[in-house]
Amino acid sequence: MNFLNIVAKEHFKNRYMIVRIALFQLKSTYMSNRLGLLWVLLNPLSQLAVYWVVFGLGIRGGASVEGVPFVLWLSCGLVPWLFIGSGIVQGANSVSSQLGHVSKMKFPLSVLPSITILTQLISHLIMLVMVLIAVVIKYGFFGLSYLGIVYYLIASLSLLSALALFTSTVSAFVRDFRFVIGAVTRALFFITPIMWTVNAKTPELLKKVIHYNPVTYLVDGYRNAMLFNQFYIATAYTAGFWLGVAVLFVWGAFIHVRFRKHFMDYQ
Amino acid sequence: MHQVQFQEVSKSFRLHSSINEKIRDLFYIKKDFPVHHALRSLTFAVDQGDVVGIIGLNGAGKSTLSNLIAGVTIPSSGSVHINGNAALIAISSGLNNQLNGLENIELKGLMMGLSHQQIKAITPAVIEFAELGKFIHQPIKSYSSGMKARLGFAISVHIDPDILVIDEALSVGDQTFSDKCLAKINEFKERGKTIFFISHSLSQVKSFCGKGLWLHDGELKKYGDIEEVAAEYERFLKHYQALSPAERTELRASHWGEF
């Protein structure tokens, strides 16, 4: 289990660097634009507008979801999804996209995926605060169930970090892998109830797929905590989720440490 | 105790003709791939304070050697012992075009393993050395290539490593820049740091280094006093330049028959 030790040590030793470089990445992505960091909000807002018009007004005819206006219900699912979806895609690219910058120095390579996920987390936090403000204006302050937001945020972060360690190593060697990741992520978006709801007409098999999709666990969790004053995690699903994350992390750390010495030679 | 010790170090690259071969090789599925031996069984030791000039033709393995000293890659076989921290002066790596000069100093410093305090301490000296003036607050995409090179060199050199590896770093800027860099490297030399200097300018190597290490097709041809090594290398160059292109290829590929 020495590889776990290596990954943990590199993260602990370089915690300051990880945060600073993530901030620099965010800055270099947005600061060259006229509107700067505002795009962190404008980008998801434009997506929200499209889904709202097409699914909310077009398909649902403006009907609310369990008494919640569709646009608000959609926002509370879309914001977690944007974090998870872009975390999966960017996380898989994290080594191959940054390797060139660190190619001529001794760099603790296991922090590369974490830097990328952290960059995504910062934009997520900005969006999350905005949505939460809208929710509080509409429904008032729920209090304790907001702990659920913190829990699901940590759960998403853990899943993404563990996954990125694995996927970034694979796609450093097999560039085609990022297309697979792209396709899977697109599919995940539609088999998670983000802009539509499971109802009586949904086939049993699809219901099962949706239920066992871990993204459903996260998105539904966020949404229940924000909109329905619910935070209940004492389920078998929770145990299964964390077991999965742990296995993924051990596996990811193992192949990362085993193969990373070849990163530079396989560039 | 030597500061840098190479014990029968070899580095070879497998020449994969397809991505499938690459992946199979990664998973240790045995198949005989053609191998390019970048370095073969190098054994040498360098003491603290030595200034070693690495010379040789293109493709002799000089950059592979510098990567091994700096710990950027690992040997295929043999052992490399480095006492202290080694840094490769890589002028453009670790710089971000969208960020300004100051931010880049912090970014590259962090990537090279400096703490927040260390970066704060070196920043004024880096700014002064790089001579960027009012451009320090501009994104470096607006810099000329000379300005970028000055900044990159200034950061690398102020990291203050025990062992400095300089791989053709001085060939990018103008004369004033390379003179300034040489002066800075001389300062390192006087402080008793170990330096590896790779350059195609034999006169620069001779004036600057105490020892010479001549690589030919991945093998250590000669290692010792710079005067002797350089003299022999010059004799070889004269001979080499008199050859026809076909004979040159033959000479350089004299080891490639081992496939």
Each residue's pLDDT expressed in tens, for chain B with a length of 259 residues:
788 999 999 988 877 766 677 666 666 655 667 778 889 989 999 999 999 999 998 888 898 999 899 888 888 889 999 998 888 887 778 888 889 999 999 999 999 889 999 999 999 999 998 888 889 999 999 988 888 888 988 898 888 889 999 887 666 667 787 788 888 888 888 998 999 999 888 888 888 899 999 998 888 999 999 999 999 999 998 888 888 888 877 777 665 433 3
Backbone angles phi, psi at A176, to 5 degrees: -60, -25
Q: What is the 3-state secondary structure (H, E, C) of A61-120?
A: CCCCECCECHHHHHHHHHHHHHHHHHHHHHHHHHHHHHHHHHCCCCCCCCHHHHHHHHHH
B99 part of contact set with chain A, CB < 8 Å: yes
What residues in B contact A21, CB-CB < 8 Å?
107, 110-111
* pLDDT category of residue A1 using cuts at 50, 70 and 90: confident
Q: Please indicate, yes or no, if residue B101 is contained in any of the structural domains.
A: no
Q: Please indicate, yes or no, if residue B214 is contained in any of the structural domains.
A: yes
Q: Distance, in angstroms, between B65 CA and closest chain A CA? A: 13
Q: Please indicate, yes or no, if residue B18 is contained in any of the structural domains.
A: yes
Out of B26, B110, B112, the one facing A20 most closely (by C-beta) is B110
Q: Output the pLDDT for position B256.
A: 44
Q: How many structural domains is chain B composed of?
A: 1
CATH of the domain at B22: 3.40.50.300
What residues in B contact A101, CB-CB < 8 Å?
93-96, 111
Give the mutation candidate from A9, A10, A14, A17 for the B interface (greatest B CB count, under 10 A).
A17
Q: Please indicate, yes or no, if residue B236 is contained in any of the structural domains.
A: yes
What residues in B contact A104, CB-CB < 8 Å?
67, 70, 72, 88, 90, 93-94
Q: Is B2 helix (H, G, I), strand (E, B) or coil?
A: coil
Q: Output the pLDDT for position B173.
A: 66
**Residue A221 and residue A115: Cα distance in Å, rounded?**
25
Determine whether the interchain pair A28/B110 forms a contact, defined as Cβ–Cβ distance below 8 Å: no
* pLDDT category of residue A47 using cuts at 50, 70 and 90: very high
Determine whether the interchain pair B110/A17 forms a contact, defined as Cβ–Cβ distance below 8 Å: yes
Out of B13, B107, B111, the one facing A107 most closely (by C-beta) is B111
Q: Please indicate, yes or no, if residue B35 is contained in any of the structural domains.
A: yes
> For A165-176, what is the mean pLDDT?
90
Q: Please indicate, yes or no, if residue B19 is contained in any of the structural domains.
A: yes
Judge contact between B34 and B75, C-beta under 8 A.
no
Q: Output the pLDDT for position B254.
A: 61
**Residue A253 and residue A259: Cα distance in Å, rounded?**
10
Residue B175: give the domain boundaries.
4-85+161-258
> For A24-32, what is the mean pLDDT?
87
Q: Please indicate, yes or no, if residue B103 is contained in any of the structural domains.
A: no
Q: Please indicate, yes or no, if residue B189 is contained in any of the structural domains.
A: yes
Out of B19, B26, B93, the one facing A101 most closely (by C-beta) is B93
Judge contact between A7 and A256, C-beta under 8 A.
yes
Judge contact between A110 and A10, C-beta under 8 A.
yes
Nearest CA in chain A to B63: A104
Whether residue A87 is predicted with pLDDT greater than 70 in this model: the reply is: yes
B139 part of contact set with chain A, CB < 8 Å: yes
Determine whether the interchain pair B90/A105 forms a contact, defined as Cβ–Cβ distance below 8 Å: yes
> For A222-238, what is the mean pLDDT?
91
B35 part of contact set with chain A, CB < 8 Å: no
